[in-house]
Amino acid sequence: MVKIKLGPAGSPAKSTFEGLSRIRELGLHEMEVQFSHGVGMGLPLAKRIGEERKRIGIELSVHAPYYINLASEEKSKIEESKKRILDSCERANLMGASPVVFHPAYFGKRDREETFQLTKDAILDMKKTIRKNHWQVELAPETTGKHSALGSLDETIRLVKETRCGMCVDFAHLYARNYGRIDYAEVLDKVYKLKPNDLHCHFSNIEFTRKGERNHLNLDHRPDFRPLAKELLHQRKIRTVTIICESPVTWKDSLKMKKILESLGHRF
Q: Which residue type, as a one-letter code, is found at position 153?
A: L
Question: Is pLDDT above 90 for 51?
Answer: yes
Name all domains of the chain by residue range, CATH numbers in brackets.
3-263 (3.20.20.150)
DSSP string, 40-70: ---HHHHHHHHHHHHHHT-EEEEE--S---T
Q: Which of 149, 153, 95, 100 is nearest to 127 (CA)?
A: 100
- Separation CA 256–CA 252 (nearest Å): 6
pLDDT above 90: residue 238: no
Q: How high is the pLDDT of residue 158?
A: 97
Residue 252 reports pLDDT greater than 90: yes
Q: What band does 236 get if pLDDT is binned at 50, 70 and 90?
A: low
Angle between helices 153-163 and 184-194 (to 10 degrees): 10
Residue-level pLDDT at 48: 98
Taking the C-alpha atoms of residue 219 and residue 205, their distance in angstroms, rounded to an integer, is: 6
Look up the pTM and report it: 0.96
pLDDT at 192: 85
Average pLDDT value over all residues in the chain? 95
User: What is the separation, in whole angstroms, between the first and last Cα of the chain?
Assistant: 11
Cβ–Cβ < 8 Å for 222, 253: no
3-state secondary structure of 225: helix
Q: Mean pLDDT throughout 114-127? A: 98
Q: What does the pLDDT look like over 149-161, one tens digit per residue?
A: 999 999 999 999 9
> How far is Cα 81 from Cα 86, in angstroms, rounded to an integer?
9
